[in-house]
Amino acid sequence: MTNTKREKLIGCVPHQEDIANKIVGRDAYIERLKNGETVVFGEPGNSMDPIIKHRQKCVYAPVGDPGLLERGQVVFCKVGPFHYTHMIKQIRHESGEWMFLICRRDGRENGWTPLSNVYGKVIEVLPTSVTQKQIEVILRDYNAHLPQAVANVSEKPATLLKHGKAQKSMGRSRNK
């Protein structure tokens, strides 16, 4: 359908910059985290199993203060050109910049990334049976008091605590 036919049908033509500036998918979550919002989404892959299963929904809180991050926490970040929901293995401060070594649950390293590429941290792993309505309630509760929620994200939620041993274990467990 040409623009002139479209104009006659709906009375307007969408601006190209509006279409080009629409943010979707992972980029939308990154923008929302940068703006201080809590988000829920599931990443593909089994690299964090059994803590987080393939596409299992997690609640991510924004990160801005390196003091809120510690070794063993699961974060959503970018290492090189790739995005991961993986663990912090090491933290260092060099040349005035906080750097984080990101790894899978089994300890395989992805590489070092600066604080500016750590977008959010997992504050809750949701059950696989969670519904969209439940997610909306969770987000409403977290985002209702944003300044307070961002200040309190250093507290470890009960959902992650029950996986504490798996989270701290960087090596593979072997059955003998």
Residue at 25 is within a domain = yes
Domain boundaries, position 99: 3-157
Looking at the 3D structure of the chain, how many domains does it have? 1
Residue at 169 is within a domain = no
The pLDDT tens digits of the residues spanning 54-106 come to 999 999 999 989 999 999 999 999 999 999 999 999 999 999 999 999 999 99
Residue at 168 is within a domain = no
pLDDT of residue 23: 78
Residue 76: CATH number of its domain: 2.10.109.10
Return the bridge partners of 100, or none. Answer: 91, 113
Q: d(Cα 122, Cα 75) in Å, to the nearest integer?
A: 6
Q: Which two tokens stand for residue 59?
A: 């609640």
Residue at 166 is within a domain = no
Residue at 162 is within a domain = no
